[in-house]
Amino acid sequence: MIKVGIVGGTGYTGVELLRILAVHPQVSVHCITSRSEAGLPVAELYPNLRGYFDLSFSEPDPKVLKACDLVFFATPHGVAMRRVPELMAAGVRVVDLSADFRLKDLDTWARWYGMAHESPEWVEQAVYGLPEVARESIRKAQLVANPGCYPTAVQLGFLPLLEQGLVDPGHLIADAKSGASGAGRQGKVGMLHGEIGESFKAYGASGHRHLPEIRQGLTAAAGQPVRVTFVPHLVPMIRGIEATLYAELNDPSAFDRLQALYESRYRDEPFVDVMPAGSHPETRSVRGANVCRMALHRQEDSPVVIVSSVIDNLVKGAAGQAVQNMNIMFGFDEAAGLGAPALLP
């Protein structure tokens, strides 16, 4: 039984962490902080948790956090980078769900996030927590940078192609679509039901913060620079990301070997599911579950390989992956707390 703390618990990733940890057999939630809601019982803000947690939101208190074995940061970017060094010094392990420690290049980070990084030394030490790529490093990490939602869906879909050098790294397209919970729980006009409830649009088409994160991961997988175009879209639903990925095979006849390649690449991964070629993964098939499901397609004899990859942005795209990382870090069963099937319909 370990003691965990959650910093910044009023958003959607905060409640999702609690929902998952509520059934985790080896975790006790020691504290959950929120400056704005300090004093409010968690179950008052999130009535689905009535009966599960007696906890109230509290002001962040370093002493309390240092008494934890692990702290999750579910904060806006720029917060974790200031708080993490003190926890590191105290020997606390951290999974940061924000973007603070995801990009290794500090200039890139500064440009996309609009501020200079305040913990460059920990950027270097942080492990980018995509278990399918870095399980062994995660196991030993003190600080894990939990991947972004889009980057998780896009990287898992592209990885086998790039790792094997099967596609032209200069023509990658990732057309991604997300439900509204990805934008968080702030009272913005643009995210009102009346604004987005029965509409669809691209956003960030000229550049989105997840682009450099995707590029960093794909470059590492390819072992050479990649050019990836990434356009996110907003879907009038709450949870779910679908990414349709396009790449050009160097050898079009290689398509026939791809299904076997994908199945073999992910055979031992508990949370990646390669469906039969020609399937169309639905986001509802992963709703509430820590799974990335994908399938391969090609049109006629085109050299373009198409991968459709789906996740629940709050689970495999955030809180679920964070718990998976925690499980790895503490030697728990990697699926502990993550065992229930998706909620369909």
Q: Could you give the residue numbers annotated as active site?
A: 149
Pairing of strands 201-202, 143-145: unpaired
Binding flag, residue 28, a second copy (CB under 8 A): no
Stretch that binds a second copy, among 15-23, 55-63, 98-106, 251-259 (CB under 8 A): 15-23
Amino acid (one-letter) located at 324: Q
Tokens for 137? 């490093």
Supply the minimum distance, in Å, between the C-beta of residue 284 and a second copy.
4
Supply the minimum distance, in Å, between the C-beta of residue 174 and a second copy.
10
Q: How many residues bind a second copy (CB under 8 A)?
A: 90
Supply the minimum distance, in Å, between the C-beta of residue 282 and a second copy.
4
Supply the minimum distance, in Å, between the C-beta of residue 22 and a second copy.
5
Binding flag, residue 335, a second copy (CB under 8 A): no
Total residues belonging to the chain = 345
124 SS3 class = helix
Q: Is residue 242 within a helix (H) or strand (E), and if so which, with residue range? A: strand 241-248
Rule CB under 8 A: choose which of 25, 47, 91, 331 binds a second copy: 47
d(CA 72, CA 198): 34
Among positions 213-242, residues that touch a second copy (CB under 8 A) are 227, 229-231, 233, 235-240, 242
Binding flag, residue 252, a second copy (CB under 8 A): no
Sheet order of strands, 27-33 included: 27-33, 2-7, 70-73, 93-96, 143-145, 127-128
Among positions 170-209, residues that touch a second copy (CB under 8 A) are 171, 173, 175, 177, 179-181, 183, 185-189, 191-203, 205-207
Amino acid (one-letter) located at 62: P
- Between the alpha carbon of residue 40 and those of residues 37, 99, 328, the distances in Å are 6, 27, 32
Report the residue number, 1 or 189, with the smaller CB distance to a second copy: 189
Binding flag, residue 316, a second copy (CB under 8 A): no
